Amino acid sequence: MMSKNLSLAKPEAYCCVLCGSVANLALVVRGFHIAQCDSCGHQFLPTSIPRDHVARTYSDEYFFGGGAGYTNYLDQKGLLEKRGSQYAKIVEKHLGRKGKVFDIGAAAGFLMQGWLNRDWTAVGIEPNLAMVQHGQEHGLDLHHGVYEESAEWTKESYDCVSMVQVISHLPSPVDALRLAYKMLKPSGILLVETWDRKSWIASAMKTGWHEYSPPSVLQWFHRESLTKAANLVGFEFVESQRVLRWLNIGHAKSLLKHMSATSKLATLASIVANIFPSQMNILYPGDDLFWALYRKPTS
């Protein structure tokens, strides 16, 4: 388990991990202090992060243990393949062609398969060995490792770098964006999918919002703060939209049960969700998930 020392950050002034401005204590969730930047509004966990944080976050427990993770990640295959194909189509519109995508935090490679289904070339990296082996067994070019520690990937240029449900878990998001910039060809596209802490559902749920889940989650973006971080390393904003996401009821039940400890609204939603079979898929009603595209300039 993650060391409890992560929850002992003192409520004092901090340095924003995105823009370097002064940040102050904003809220406390499950004993963890969360800071908010006075300038860009980014929220983050203001403490030193263990070197093996990413590996611990994406352990087998995350993919099969329920709670803030999944009861069985492999059940997401069909939904994620469709999402990957949708993202490929969106990127093609702006890129003007198909190409080669690098998927960060690829898990078992379901999103990668969606890109492949649209005739892209796909390469992925994932810190969980079981997920990597599953993807490799299905013929995917999937590699075991931690993205930020794998500088070898900068040796090859890509048309798109994809970060879906990844950037909020990274200790140094600006460094991760900078590496993505190096990996892209001129005019290449960065795709980021993450959660919006300024959404109405996040505001309504307050500290009971499902994404307030430290120490697994380290960063809490909103659209403007993500764009500011991307601009810092040289990216140009292209487009951003809310994600219309299909959600597996079994996964929703696990999340709501996890959230019930800090949210009465989640408790009520959990009661409603239990009416439906776990195998059922529903359209996620929240407005708190979005994707954004950024382009590497041609010069």
Is residue 12 situated within a structural domain?
no
| pLDDT at residue 290, rounded to an integer | 96
CA distances from 113 to 121, 142, 189 (A): 10, 11, 19
Q: Give the per-residue pLDDT at 280.
A: 57
Name the residue with higher pLDDT: 238 or 246: 238
Task: List the beta strands (DSSP E) in the chain.
Answer: 14-15, 22-29, 32-37, 43-44, 100-104, 121-126, 142-144, 158-164, 184-195, 219-220, 236-242, 246-248, 281-283, 289-295
CB 69 within 8 A of CB 63: yes
Instruction: Report if residue 188 sits inside a domain.
Output: yes
Question: In 3-state terms, the chain is what percent helix, strand and coil (to 5)?
Answer: 40, 25, 35
- pLDDT of 257 higher than 60: no
The rounded distance, in Å, linking the Cα atoms of 299 and 241 is 27
Supply the range of the domain harboring residue 240.
52-295
| Backbone phi and psi for residue 63, each to the nearest 5 degrees, phi listed first | -85, -20
Q: Is the pLDDT of residue 7 over 50?
A: no
Instruction: Assess if residue 22 is contained within a domain.
Output: no
Residue 105 confidence (pLDDT) above 50: yes
Whether 168 is covered by a domain: the verdict is yes
pLDDT category at 61 given cuts 50, 70, 90 is confident
- How confident is the model over 6-32, as a mean pLDDT? 80
CATH of the domain at 189: 3.40.50.150
At residue 254, the pLDDT reads 58
pLDDT for res 2: 41
Average pLDDT over every residue of 33-37: 94
For residue 202, give the amino acid letter.
A
214 pLDDT more than 50 = yes
Report the mean per-residue pLDDT for the chain.
Answer: 85
With pLDDT > 70 as the criterion, what percentage of the chain qualifies?
Answer: 79
Nearest Cα residue to 230 out of 64, 44, 58, 42: 42
pLDDT in tens, 77-95: 988 999 999 999 999 999 9
Is 13 a domain residue? Answer: no
Give the Cα separation of 154 and 253 in Å (integer). Answer: 40
- Measuring CA to CA, which residue among 170, 267, 154 is closest to residue 216? 170
Angle between helices 173-183 and 223-232 (to 10 degrees): 60
pLDDT over 60 at 195, yes or no: yes
Residue 200 lies in a domain: yes
- The answer to whether residue 35 is domain-embedded is no
The verdict on residue 16 lying in a domain is no
Place of tokens 């878990």: 169
Is pLDDT larger for residue 210 or for residue 24?
A: 24
Q: Is the pTM of this model over 0.95?
A: no
Q: Which residues pair with 292 in a beta bridge?
A: 192, 240
Provide the domain count of the chain. 1
Tell me the mean pLDDT in the region 147-165. Answer: 84
Q: What is the pLDDT of residue 67?
A: 61
